[in-house]
Chains A and B, each alone.
Chain A
Amino acid sequence: MVPITHFLILSSLLFVVGAAGVLLSRNLIVMFMSIELMLNAANLLLIAFSRHLNLMDGHVIVFIILTVAAAEAAVGLAIIINLFRNKETINADRFSLFKR
């Protein structure tokens, strides 16, 4: 069996790639997908620990996180559609509504 440390490193790598995607990308949809990737990195960690401790509670938490991700995708994509409707672009740098 692969030691759990490997899963910890893989999960942190995926999380960092997701965080870098949010920072580096200008496309709102790619930023949004990076957030989903970060959620999935946390899910992988939960599954690995639930296997390591022989407890199934982690699986239930992952199930609930999947639900949250679905809800987040629905609301987030509605926001993106609205933004596109107003500005005809989804380049994140073009939105500066809160900047004085």
Chain B
Amino acid sequence: MVIDTVIFYIAALLAVFGAIMMITVKNPVAAVMYLILSLIAQAVLYVQLGALFVGALLIIVYAGAILVLFLFVIMLLNLRGEQFEGGHPRLSLATKYFLSALFFIEAVIIFREASLALRFNAPMTAASETFGGVTQVAELLFTKYLYPFELTSILLLVAVVGAVIMAKRDKGEDS
């Protein structure tokens, strides 16, 4: 089972590297590309955890659709040359770094306590053959979680209407 561990570490490193590069790089287009790298590495982890369908969904919906929407907006607004200096930041940089470090320490403490309490360090048992397939996810989605699933359609409808209304130009300001 060495190969599993190797795949995990490569994918985890790529995911964290992509995330860190995303928030540090200056060019927004490069930031989107690094986020896509991070998402693909996360999809590898999903597949490793047996979630074949959701892993495919992550690449198709997230990397394929949502982030392309981000790219569209960045190119539409033509942000490549914009400098993000100046303005009046509310918080000093030191405060921001301190808060980020505090978040991480909190997360580590929570997970340490949880793993001690529940003995998560025991190796995971082998999953059944059909775990995470399309059929199994769909079965749950249309039986146990039918109402949440239907509610997401209303959510999408509201989001579409809201986006159209907000992106629409007012009649008076046409030029």
Q: How many A-B residue pairs have CB under 8 A?
A: 245
Q: Secondary structure of the A side of the interface?
A: helix
Residues of B within 8 A of A (CB): 1, 4-5, 8, 12, 15-16, 19-20, 22-23, 28, 31-32, 35, 38-39, 42, 45-46, 48-51, 53-54, 57-58, 61-62, 65-66, 69-70, 73-74, 76-77, 79, 82, 84, 86-91, 93, 96-97, 99-100, 103-104, 107-108, 110-111, 114-115, 120-128, 131-132, 136-137, 140-141, 144-145, 148-149, 152, 155-156, 158-160, 162-164, 166-167, 169
C-alpha spacing A50/B105, complex, angstroms: 25
CB distance from A86 to the nearest CB of B (A): 10
| Residues of chain B with a CB closer than 8 A to A29's CB | 28, 31, 70, 73-74, 79
Instruction: Using known A-B contacts A12-B111, A44-B45, A51-B127, determine if residue A70 contacts B66 with beta carbons closer than 8 Å.
Output: yes
B124 near A1 with CB under 8 A, answer yes
Is A100 at the interface (CB under 8 A from chain B)? no
| Residues of chain A with a CB closer than 8 A to B19's CB | 14, 17-18, 21, 37
Partner of B73, one of A15, A40, A81, A89: A81
14 pairs, CB–CB < 8 Å, chain A vs chain B = A1-B124, A5-B120, A12-B111, A13-B104, A14-B19, A47-B54, A54-B128, A56-B131, A63-B57, A71-B158, A73-B69, A74-B162, A84-B77, A93-B88
Instruction: Using known A-B contacts A24-B23, A60-B140, determine if residue A48 contacts B121 with beta carbons closer than 8 Å.
Output: no
| Residues of chain A with a CB closer than 8 A to B97's CB | 20, 24
C-alpha spacing A68/B165, complex, angstroms: 19
| Residues of chain A with a CB closer than 8 A to B79's CB | 27, 29, 90
A70 near B61 with CB under 8 A, answer yes
CB distance from A78 to the nearest CB of B (A): 4
A75 near B159 with CB under 8 A, answer yes
